[in-house]
């Protein structure tokens, strides 16, 4: 289903001014945020993913009459160090709080205690592909690290933390981490898949509030009152589990798989935790070990998503290597959602995750982007990936 709306002439320049002011990526983001705010009210959490899906499985599309340029905000940051690949860690960067305090590595991470004799909450739609807007893995890693810190502080006998406390902590930390990484991206002109801040909530006011709600709903977890299940990347990937502790409410713990993932080195987090006073521009966002671990986790826990990854890789390998060609190759694919708009959303998510895992690369000429398989991507379609667990 598609909605087309007419914008009053008097509103168009005001929307354009808001976009040009840098608080919104484009007019579509501005309008969607305004609609969400109107529908949800100011005191409700972001709706579940399926709230946006119509009964026929499609999404509403909002078109405007003015140009919808993909403009992003910028910061006039100056280099804080003579080394062009480093920034000073002490205090702040470009006016943003240093995120080091929020993502300090722990010497040890405790998984859920074996003494806990309670069933975990059901995971909503575990047998579907990963939601298309979950398009990066650094937000997942950092959120899991924040969860580990909160569990350590809680001192809980089962190594759990209150769900509300966890989500509140993630929001308060991520707002500074996102701004820091965005300022860093702007300073060093990191583009596309190389940006550190993709997926994080940035901005201020309504945009930031909505961004933080989406961040926790997509990358961490969300409790669904309708069916008493949970959703979100960290539970879908098997890194977090949620329990109803009755009188103590809902509590969250990290699984052994989550602990194993946390203990893997990450280039960005390692640089932020280095002992010196500078943060160097990382060449990688994920380590080789992390990428391998994620791929094997998806292959074991979410085989439908692993098959979707291979489907897109095979399309690219066969020569269908543009967005339009891949979309055509997925037409009618029920695993991707069936409808054109659902396929488009989930296709974009798969492509972004394949790029983040460096299974595909991209060649850009003017406005056209063509994808190609990396050596690791070729391995995925040439042999089975076995679980290491």
Look at residue 185 and tell me whether its pLDDT is greater than 60.
Answer: yes
Q: What is the DSSP string of 103-133?
A: SPPPS------TT---PPPPBTTTTSPPPTT
pLDDT at 41: 42
pLDDT at 122: 96
Residue 257 has which token pair?
């798989």
**Rounded (5°) CA angle 289-291-295:** 120
> How many CA atoms, within 13 angstroms, populate the side-chain half-sphere of residue 101?
11
Lowest mean pLDDT among 230-244, 274-288, 335-349, 358-372: 274-288
Instruction: Work out the pLDDT band at 38, boundaries 50, 70, 90.
Output: low
| CA-based end-to-end distance of the chain | 42
pLDDT at 205: 84
Percent of the chain with pLDDT over 70: 72
Q: Which of 312-317's residues contact partners 24+ apart within 8 Å by CB, and which partners? A: 312/347, 312/350, 312/351, 312/354, 313/354, 313/359, 313/360, 313/373, 313/377, 313/380, 313/381, 314/381, 316/360, 316/371, 316/372, 316/373, 316/377, 317/373, 317/378, 317/381
CA distances from 109 to 263, 270, 353 (A): 8, 16, 26
Q: Residue ranges of the domains in the chain? A: 1-73, 86-280, 299-382
Lowest mean pLDDT among 113-117, 143-147, 306-310, 337-341: 337-341
Q: Residue 52: which residues within 8 A CB-CB, separation 6 or more? A: 59, 60
Residue with the larger pLDDT of the pair 164 and 23: 164
Please tell me whether residue 94 adopts helix, strand or coil conformation.
Answer: coil
The mean per-residue pLDDT over the stretch 172-185 comes to: 87
Which H or E run contains 102?
A: none
Look at residue 324 and tell me whether its pLDDT is greater than 70.
Answer: yes
pLDDT at 9: 60
- 307 C-beta neighbours (distance < 10 Å), count: 13
The mean per-residue pLDDT over the stretch 253-281 comes to: 85
pLDDT at 282: 85
pLDDT at 127: 93
Residue with tokens 């993909």: 70
Residue with the larger pLDDT of the pair 177 and 308: 308
pLDDT at 28: 73
Tell me how far apart the alpha carbons of residues 22 and 37 are, in angstroms, rounded to a whole number.
20
Query: pLDDT tens digits, residue range 190-240?
Result: 888 889 999 998 888 888 889 999 999 999 999 999 999 999 999 999 999
> Chain-wide mean pLDDT for the chain?
79
Q: Which of 245-252's residues contact partners 24+ apart within 8 Å by CB, and which partners? A: 245/118, 245/160, 248/162, 249/162, 249/163, 249/164, 250/121, 250/162, 250/163, 250/164, 250/223, 251/156, 251/158, 251/160, 251/161, 251/162, 251/163, 252/147, 252/160, 252/161, 252/162, 252/163, 252/166, 252/221
Look at residue 298 and tell me whether its pLDDT is greater than 50.
Answer: yes
Tell me how far apart the alpha carbons of residues 36 and 124 are, in angstroms, rounded to a whole number.
23
Instruction: Work out the pLDDT band at 344, boundaries 50, 70, 90.
Output: very high
CA distances from 347 to 92, 198, 277, 376 (A): 37, 17, 41, 20
CATH of domain 299-382: 1.10.10.10
Please name which of 52, 58, 50, 53 lies closest in space to residue 226, comparing C-alpha atoms: 50
Tell me how far apart the alpha carbons of residues 265 and 111 are, in angstroms, rounded to a whole number.
18
Q: What is the DSSP string of 293-325?
A: HHHHHHHHH-HHHHHHHHHHHHHHHTT--SHHH
Please tell me whether residue 252 adopts helix, strand or coil conformation.
Answer: strand
pLDDT at 249: 93
The mean per-residue pLDDT over the stretch 83-111 comes to: 60
Lowest mean pLDDT among 82-86, 265-269, 345-349, 364-368: 82-86
Look at residue 306 and tell me whether its pLDDT is greater than 90.
Answer: yes
Instruction: Work out the pLDDT band at 317, boundaries 50, 70, 90.
Output: very high
Please name which of 128, 199, 193, 191 lies closest in space to residue 346, comparing C-alpha atoms: 128
Tell me how far apart the alpha carbons of residues 225 and 54 are, in angstroms, rounded to a whole number.
19
pLDDT at 188: 86
pLDDT at 37: 52
The mean per-residue pLDDT over the stretch 303-314 comes to: 96
pLDDT at 215: 94
Which H or E run contains 216?
A: none
According to DSSP, the residues that pair with 222 across neighbouring strands are 231
DSSP conformation class of 84: T
């Amino acid at each position: 289903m598609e909605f087309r709306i007419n914008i009053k002439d008097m509103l168009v320049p005001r929307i354009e001014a808001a976009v040009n002011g840098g608080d919104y990526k484009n007019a579509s983001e501005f309008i969607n945020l305004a609609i969400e705010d109107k529908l949800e009210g100011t005191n409700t959490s972001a709706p579940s993913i399926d709230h946006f899906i119509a009964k026929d499985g499609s999404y509403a599309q909002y078109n405007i009459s003015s140009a919808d340029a993909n403009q992003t905000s910028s910061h006039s940051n100056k280099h804080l160090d003579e080394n062009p690949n480093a920034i000073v860690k002490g205090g702040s960067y470009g006016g943003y709080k240093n995120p080091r305090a929020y993502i300090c590595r722990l010497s040890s991470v405790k998984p859920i205690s074996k003494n806990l004799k309670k069933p975990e909450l059901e995971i909503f739609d575990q047998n579907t592909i990963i939601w298309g807007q979950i398009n990066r893995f650094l937000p997942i890693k950092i959120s899991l690290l924040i969860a580990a810190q909160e569990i350590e502080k809680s001192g809980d006998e089962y190594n759990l933390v209150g769900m509300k406390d966890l989500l509140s902590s993630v929001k308060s930390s991520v707002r500074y981490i996102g701004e820091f990484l965005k300022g860093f991206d702007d300073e060093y002109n990191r583009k596309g898949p190389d940006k550190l801040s993709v997926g994080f909530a940035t901005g201020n006011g309504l945009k930031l509030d909505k961004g933080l709600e989406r961040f926790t709903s997509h990358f961490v977890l969300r409790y669904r009152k309708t069916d008493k299940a949970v959703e979100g990347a960290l539970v879908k990937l098997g890194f977090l589990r949620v329990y109803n502790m009755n009188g103590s409410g809902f509590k969250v713990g990290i699984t052994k798989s989550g602990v194993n993932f946390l203990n893997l080195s990450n280039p960005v987090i390692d640089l932020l935790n280095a002992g010196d006073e500078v943060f160097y521009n990382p060449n990688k966002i994920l380590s080789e070990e992390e990428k391998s671990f994620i791929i094997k986790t998806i292959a074991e826990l979410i085989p439908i998503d692993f098959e979707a990854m291979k489907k897109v890789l095979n399309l690219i390998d066969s020569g269908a290597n543009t967005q339009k060609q891949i979309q055509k190759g997925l037409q009618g694919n029920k695993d991707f959602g069936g409808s054109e708009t659902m396929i488009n959303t989930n296709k974009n998510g798969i492509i972004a995750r394949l790029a983040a895992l460096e299974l595909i690369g991209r060649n850009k000429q003017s406005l056209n982007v063509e994808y190609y398989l990396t050596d690791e991507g070729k391995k995925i379609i040439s042999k089975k990936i076995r679980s290491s667990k």
